[in-house]
Amino acid sequence: MIIETNNAKETFELGVQIGQKAKVGDVYTLIGDLGVGKTVFTQGMAKGLEIDEPISSPTFTIVQVYDGGRLPFYHFDVYRIGDVEEMEEIGYEDYIYGQGVSLIEWSNLIEEILPKKRQEISIEKDLEKGYDYRKITIMERE
Ligand code: ADP
Ligand code: MG
Protein backbone atom coordinates (compact mmCIF):
# COMPACT_ATOMS: atom_id res chain seq x y z
CA MET A 1 0.00 0.00 0.00
CA ILE A 2 1.31 3.44 -0.94
CA ILE A 3 0.12 6.64 0.70
CA GLU A 4 1.25 10.06 -0.42
CA THR A 5 1.26 12.98 2.01
CA ASN A 6 1.88 16.66 1.38
CA ASN A 7 2.39 17.96 4.90
CA ALA A 8 3.37 16.78 8.36
CA LYS A 9 -0.23 16.66 9.57
CA GLU A 10 -1.19 14.10 6.93
CA THR A 11 1.70 11.87 7.95
CA PHE A 12 0.73 12.29 11.59
CA GLU A 13 -2.88 11.34 10.80
CA LEU A 14 -1.73 8.23 8.95
CA GLY A 15 0.17 7.28 12.09
CA VAL A 16 -2.98 7.87 14.15
CA GLN A 17 -4.99 5.52 11.93
CA ILE A 18 -2.37 2.79 12.21
CA GLY A 19 -2.12 3.27 15.96
CA GLN A 20 -5.89 2.92 16.29
CA LYS A 21 -5.85 -0.37 14.39
CA ALA A 22 -2.75 -1.82 16.06
CA LYS A 23 -3.18 -5.08 17.95
CA VAL A 24 -1.23 -6.90 20.66
CA GLY A 25 1.98 -8.30 19.24
CA ASP A 26 2.05 -6.13 16.13
CA VAL A 27 5.53 -5.13 14.99
CA TYR A 28 6.07 -2.15 12.70
CA THR A 29 9.42 -1.32 11.21
CA LEU A 30 10.12 2.20 10.08
CA ILE A 31 12.84 3.33 7.73
CA GLY A 32 13.65 6.59 6.03
CA ASP A 33 16.36 9.25 5.94
CA LEU A 34 16.87 11.82 8.65
CA GLY A 35 14.22 14.52 8.57
CA VAL A 36 11.80 12.52 6.47
CA GLY A 37 9.07 12.30 9.14
CA LYS A 38 9.68 9.17 11.21
CA THR A 39 9.13 11.00 14.46
CA VAL A 40 6.02 12.73 13.12
CA PHE A 41 4.61 9.35 12.12
CA THR A 42 5.55 7.79 15.47
CA GLN A 43 3.85 10.61 17.37
CA GLY A 44 0.70 9.96 15.35
CA MET A 45 0.88 6.28 16.13
CA ALA A 46 1.19 7.03 19.84
CA LYS A 47 -1.88 9.21 19.65
CA GLY A 48 -3.76 6.40 17.90
CA LEU A 49 -2.76 4.19 20.82
CA GLU A 50 -4.19 6.81 23.19
CA ILE A 51 -0.81 7.67 24.72
CA ASP A 52 -0.75 11.18 26.18
CA GLU A 53 2.94 11.27 27.05
CA PRO A 54 5.13 13.14 24.57
CA ILE A 55 7.16 10.88 22.31
CA SER A 56 10.83 11.70 22.17
CA SER A 57 13.49 10.06 20.09
CA PRO A 58 15.18 7.48 22.30
CA THR A 59 18.66 8.77 21.72
CA PHE A 60 20.54 7.07 24.54
CA THR A 61 18.33 4.09 25.07
CA ILE A 62 17.45 1.59 22.39
CA VAL A 63 13.87 1.27 23.53
CA GLN A 64 11.40 3.63 25.15
CA VAL A 65 8.34 2.11 26.80
CA TYR A 66 5.00 3.92 26.96
CA ASP A 67 2.53 2.23 29.27
CA GLY A 68 -0.20 4.85 29.53
CA GLY A 69 -2.18 4.02 26.41
CA ARG A 70 -4.63 1.47 25.06
CA LEU A 71 -1.73 -0.99 24.71
CA PRO A 72 1.91 -0.80 25.77
CA PHE A 73 3.97 0.88 23.07
CA TYR A 74 7.61 -0.10 22.57
CA HIS A 75 9.46 2.48 20.55
CA PHE A 76 12.87 1.28 19.39
CA ASP A 77 15.46 3.45 17.71
CA VAL A 78 18.41 1.31 16.75
CA TYR A 79 20.27 4.01 14.81
CA ARG A 80 23.25 3.93 17.17
CA ILE A 81 23.38 0.20 17.71
CA GLY A 82 26.80 -1.32 17.19
CA ASP A 83 25.83 -4.95 17.10
CA VAL A 84 22.61 -6.97 17.28
CA GLU A 85 23.93 -8.39 20.55
CA GLU A 86 22.87 -5.13 22.13
CA MET A 87 19.31 -6.13 21.29
CA GLU A 88 19.81 -9.42 23.14
CA GLU A 89 21.19 -7.51 26.14
CA ILE A 90 18.06 -5.40 26.48
CA GLY A 91 15.88 -8.50 26.15
CA TYR A 92 14.21 -7.29 22.97
CA GLU A 93 12.21 -10.50 22.58
CA ASP A 94 10.19 -9.69 25.68
CA TYR A 95 8.99 -6.58 23.90
CA ILE A 96 8.63 -7.73 20.33
CA TYR A 97 6.93 -11.00 21.22
CA GLY A 98 5.17 -9.48 24.22
CA GLN A 99 1.82 -7.93 24.98
CA GLY A 100 2.24 -4.57 23.29
CA VAL A 101 2.85 -2.89 19.96
CA SER A 102 6.42 -2.39 18.72
CA LEU A 103 7.78 0.20 16.36
CA ILE A 104 11.41 -0.14 15.29
CA GLU A 105 13.16 2.80 13.65
CA TRP A 106 16.21 2.03 11.49
CA SER A 107 15.17 -1.63 11.50
CA ASN A 108 17.42 -2.30 8.51
CA LEU A 109 20.36 -2.33 10.97
CA ILE A 110 19.00 -5.37 12.81
CA GLU A 111 17.47 -7.21 9.85
CA GLU A 112 18.67 -10.63 11.07
CA ILE A 113 16.62 -10.57 14.27
CA LEU A 114 13.41 -9.03 12.97
CA PRO A 115 10.33 -11.21 13.29
CA LYS A 116 9.16 -12.66 9.97
CA LYS A 117 5.69 -11.31 10.53
CA ARG A 118 5.82 -7.54 10.51
CA GLN A 119 4.57 -4.43 8.78
CA GLU A 120 7.32 -2.58 6.98
CA ILE A 121 6.88 1.15 6.63
CA SER A 122 9.18 3.35 4.62
CA ILE A 123 8.99 7.08 4.15
CA GLU A 124 10.67 8.74 1.20
CA LYS A 125 10.94 12.24 -0.20
CA ASP A 126 10.64 13.11 -3.85
CA LEU A 127 11.80 16.67 -4.26
CA GLU A 128 10.36 16.87 -7.76
CA LYS A 129 6.94 16.62 -6.15
CA GLY A 130 7.61 19.34 -3.61
CA TYR A 131 9.59 19.82 -0.44
CA ASP A 132 6.82 18.50 1.84
CA TYR A 133 5.82 15.56 -0.32
CA ARG A 134 6.33 12.11 1.19
CA LYS A 135 5.72 8.67 -0.25
CA ILE A 136 4.87 6.22 2.49
CA THR A 137 4.93 2.54 1.65
CA ILE A 138 3.41 -0.04 3.98
CA MET A 139 4.14 -3.66 3.25
CA GLU A 140 2.97 -6.68 5.19
CA ARG A 141 5.56 -9.42 5.53
CA GLU A 142 4.85 -12.95 6.72
P1 ADP B 1 12.83 11.98 11.31
O2 ADP B 1 12.30 11.50 12.64
O3 ADP B 1 12.56 11.05 10.17
O4 ADP B 1 14.27 12.37 11.36
P5 ADP B 1 11.08 14.20 11.87
O6 ADP B 1 9.75 13.56 11.99
O7 ADP B 1 11.78 14.58 13.12
O8 ADP B 1 12.04 13.31 10.92
O9 ADP B 1 10.98 15.53 11.00
C10 ADP B 1 10.24 15.64 9.80
C11 ADP B 1 10.21 17.12 9.39
O12 ADP B 1 9.66 17.26 8.08
C13 ADP B 1 9.31 17.93 10.33
O14 ADP B 1 9.89 19.19 10.50
C15 ADP B 1 8.01 18.03 9.54
O16 ADP B 1 7.27 19.20 9.85
C17 ADP B 1 8.53 18.10 8.11
N18 ADP B 1 7.57 17.64 7.10
C19 ADP B 1 7.24 18.32 5.98
N20 ADP B 1 6.38 17.63 5.21
C21 ADP B 1 6.15 16.46 5.85
C22 ADP B 1 5.34 15.33 5.54
N23 ADP B 1 4.62 15.22 4.40
N24 ADP B 1 5.34 14.31 6.43
C25 ADP B 1 6.08 14.38 7.56
N26 ADP B 1 6.87 15.42 7.91
C27 ADP B 1 6.90 16.46 7.07
MG1 MG C 1 13.28 11.09 14.46
DSSP code per residue over 39-54: HHHHHHHHHHTT--SP
> Could you read off the pLDDT tens digit of each residue along the chain, which spans 142 residues?
999 999 999 999 999 999 999 999 999 999 999 999 999 999 999 999 999 998 887 667 899 999 999 999 999 999 888 888 999 999 999 999 999 999 999 999 999 999 999 999 999 999 999 999 999 999 999 8
Ligand 1 mean position to 91 CA, how many Å?
Answer: 30
Phi, psi of 112, deg, nearest 5: -65, -15
**Atom 13 (ligand 1) nearest CA:** 37
5 lines ligand 1 (CB under 6 A): yes
pTM of the model: 0.95
